[in-house]
Structure 1
Amino acid sequence: MRQDEIWDAEAAAGYDTPGSGMFAPEVLTPVVDRLADLADGGRVLEFAIGTGRVAVPLAERGVPVTGVELSEPMVAELRRKVDETAVPVVVGDMATTLVPGEFTLVYLVYNTISNLLTQDEQVDCFLNAARHLVPGGRFVVELGVPDLRVLPPGQAGAVFGTAPGYIGLDTYDLVPQHLTSHHFRFDPGPGREARLFRSTHRYAWPAELDLMARIAGFGLESRHADWVGTPFTGESRSHVSVYRLRGDSAGG
């Protein structure tokens, strides 16, 4: 299934959880704070802007934000919050779509680069970021660290989360580095009805991303376990990596 088919009108309508989950202030505020600092007073481009979870509060800080988004239903949800003059969006693929102008910062949050299901597409995403940046500009990627230690030999899946009315299960295909997240949500009451949302991702190790960055002309500036600067270690479950474009590499 294509990404624009996964993120259809139903998925877009249920994406936002105001005040909780990804939208909780304690989760979102550090992201916006860090990106506003990294923008260094310039224009910012968000790949896969979605419903504007990060872009809208970032724009409210006075940072000029433009987005790229493949899913038109997600853009429609964004437009319920702000208009085109506040946060312009170009509909297209983050690996190939070109946006007019230059930017000091391009960013990808919350595992979104994993929506590109091949290594070639992920490399193209780094190259596309480089095309949009001024010399010395930054590309920020937030991505989970593959948790393959949970898989005993011969097992292809593991539960990653449970809550009342919810079970999350990841299944793995190790050769193409794919994981499929299965989100089961159960209706309240004595019935047995459940709704399933499923999405496939390509996981990548931090070192693999560093090589992609090098191919595109970036060097690693910093890596932390989260947006508040917690040191990255072998036990970290995710990372926020900041890549800096070399001065002779703008334009890819």
Structure 2
Amino acid sequence: MPVDKAFARFDMARLYDAFNHHGEDGDFYENFAETPCRVLDIGCGTGSMTVRLANRGHKVTGVDPANGMLQVARMKDSDGRVDWIHAPAAEFTVPERFDLAIMTGHVFQVFLDDAETLAALRNIRRHMVPGGRLILESRNPLAKAWEDWTREKTREERIIDGVGPVEVTYQIKDIEAEHVTFDAVFAVEATGETLTSESRLRFPAAGTIERLLAEAGFGESVLLGWWDRTPYSETSPEIIAIARA
């Protein structure tokens, strides 16, 4: 899993956390498993969804390659309910086997080619029980969400404890085939600092996602287009894949 260099830093991870929250997607993941089970959260980031699932009684392991993100995540886990693993998705190894694996927050899109994606998916599958389920999400490239990633449309301000008012905006730097490169720019009012995080995402088609899951050894996958479980179509904003191990 590629590491965003900015989010390896605690200060940047904290800013990211202040502006990124789960809405309908969080409710979907929280309610997916009807009874407590063993959950693997790949690319858990600052742990918002990880801790939420642990609080529901699941035994959760969170994996992320960015130290800064995990620092923020551990601060939310005051009871120590989550096992936090600092490692890329393709390289972590734990003895436990999981009933459910999730990749929230469009983490799936950080894998920039088939080789990276397959390495991660195969390692995840090795850590799942037979019949366990993997859920991943990716923005539908046909919806062209990046067209709204402009300074004017993304400007948002939050007051962060110990930091004060912070404004974030997004701006596209490059669009090439399946890949979109953009900056998240955080402006800290108190210090006048401008902190920039560059990200590059892949926008694979639905058929590509199904193929990669099959090549990684997963069974037939179901595709949804939104968090209300509407089936995927070409006009869907999301591609939510649920696959059997």
Q: What TM-score range do you get, normalising by the shorter chain?
A: 0.7 to 0.9
Is contact 2:168–2:185 with CA below 8 Å preserved after alignment? yes
Instruction: Give the drift of 1:135.
Output: 0.8
Q: Secondary structure at the match of 1:16?
A: helix
Is contact 1:158–1:171 with CA below 8 Å preserved after alignment? no
Matches within 5 A, 1:160-175: 160=149, 161-163=153-155, 166-175=168-177
Instruction: Give the drift of 1:101.
Output: 1.2
**1:111 maps to which residue?**
106
| Change in 2 beyond 3 A, CA 1:149/1:140 | closer
RMSD (Å) for aligned C-alpha atoms: 2.7
User: Residue 29 of structure 1: which of 4, 21, 27 is its match?
Assistant: 27
Instruction: Give the drift of 1:83.
Output: 4.7
Instruction: Give the drift of 1:41.
Output: 3.9
Q: Secondary structure at the match of 2:61?
A: strand
Instruction: Give the drift of 1:221.
Output: 3.6
User: Residue 54 of structure 2: which of 38, 51, 59 is its match?
Assistant: 59
| Change in 2 beyond 3 A, CA 1:147/1:11 | farther
| Change in 2 beyond 3 A, CA 1:82/1:14 | same
| Cα offsets for 1:90-119 (capped at 9, x unmatched) | 110012212221111111012102222222
Matches within 5 A, 1:5-16: 5-7=5-7, 8-16=9-17
Is contact 1:16–1:23 with CA below 8 Å preserved after alignment? no
Instruction: Give the drift of 1:159.
Output: 4.2
Q: Tell me, yes or no, if structure 1 residue 45 matches structure 2 residue 40.
A: yes
CA distance in 2, matches of 1:27, 1:240: 10
Q: Secondary structure at the match of 1:46?
A: strand
CA distance in 2, matches of 1:74, 1:108: 15
Matches within 5 A, 1:1-252: 3-7=3-7, 8-17=9-18, 22-24=21-23, 26-34=24-32, 36-37=33-34, 41-83=36-78, 85-147=80-142, 158-160=147-149, 161-163=153-155, 166-175=168-177, 177-185=178-186, 195-245=195-245
- Structure 1 segments of 4+ aligned residues over 6 angstroms from their partners: none
Amino acid of the structure 1 residue aligned with 2:222: S
The answer for unaligned runs of 5 or more in structure 2 is: 157-166
Is contact 1:138–1:244 with CA below 8 Å preserved after alignment? yes
TM-score, structure 2 normalization = 0.81
Is contact 1:225–1:231 with CA below 8 Å preserved after alignment? yes
Is contact 1:223–1:242 with CA below 8 Å preserved after alignment? yes
Q: Secondary structure at the match of 1:226?
A: coil
Amino acid of the structure 1 residue aligned with 2:27: T
**2:163 maps to which residue?**
none
Is contact 1:51–1:77 with CA below 8 Å preserved after alignment? yes
Please say which of residues 215-224 and 55-64 is displaced more in the overlay.
215-224
| Change in 2 beyond 3 A, CA 1:27/1:139 | closer
| Cα offsets for 1:120-173 (capped at 9, x unmatched) | 0111111111101111111110111125768xxxxxx84423335554233444
Is contact 1:182–1:196 with CA below 8 Å preserved after alignment? yes
The alignment covers a number of residue pairs equal to 229
